[in-house]
Amino acid sequence: MHLEQLSPTKRYYSISEVSRIFGLSVAKLRFWEENFPSLKIQRNRSGERVFTQKDLEHLQLIYELVEERRFTLEGARNYIKNKQHKQSEYAEVLARLQRLRGFLVELREEIVAVENGGRREVEEEVEDFS
């Protein structure tokens, strides 16, 4: 199953299409939806499940954990929960580093200005790490 081969323009997939993509039964997909709180499948006006590209990527992770790596459902849930927690921690650390970088750039500019006798000319461009 390779999600890269799917059409990038298609926004929604039915449960039967997702079943064919992953080679799983519709019942198993519904079961996973019930047992993985992180998997939030939307429904259309008629109540049918519609899967987005993001849902398919999340299902691919669940598939890999449960079907290929033989995780228990509880183990897979914990793995996903910890992964999401780590991602939010990384985002927080990244935001702190960006604020620190901004402070250091300002500090460097002030030091250069003092060294240049009050002129705020920076001789070297600061490399952008964003």
Residue-range domain boundaries for the chain = 1-70, 73-118
**pLDDT by position in tens, the chain (length 130):** 557 778 878 999 999 999 999 999 999 999 999 999 999 999 999 999 999 999 999 999 999 999 999 999 999 999 998 887 777 777 788 888 899 899 999 999 888 888 887 655 544 444 545 4
- Dump the DSSP string for 4-70: GGS-TT---EEHHHHHHHHT--HHHHHHHHHH-TT---EE-TTS-EEE-HHHHHHHHHHHIIIIIS-
* CATH code linked to domain 1-70: 1.10.1660.10
Task: Identify the pLDDT of residue 93.
Answer: 82
Task: Identify the pLDDT of residue 88.
Answer: 74
Task: Identify the pLDDT of residue 2.
Answer: 59
CA 77 to CA 72: how far, in whole Å?
9
Task: Identify the pLDDT of residue 43.
Answer: 96
Task: Identify the pLDDT of residue 118.
Answer: 60
- Identity (one letter) of the amino acid at 120? R
How many other C-beta atoms lie within 10 A of the C-beta of residue 130?
Answer: 5
* Element (DSSP H or E) covering residue 71: none
Task: Identify the pLDDT of residue 3.
Answer: 74
Task: Identify the pLDDT of residue 119.
Answer: 55
CA 20 to CA 51: how far, in whole Å?
13
Q: Which residue has the tokens 């993509």?
A: 21
Query: Which residues are CB-contacts of 127 (< 8 A; sequence separation ≥ 6)?
Result: none
pTM of the complete model: 0.65
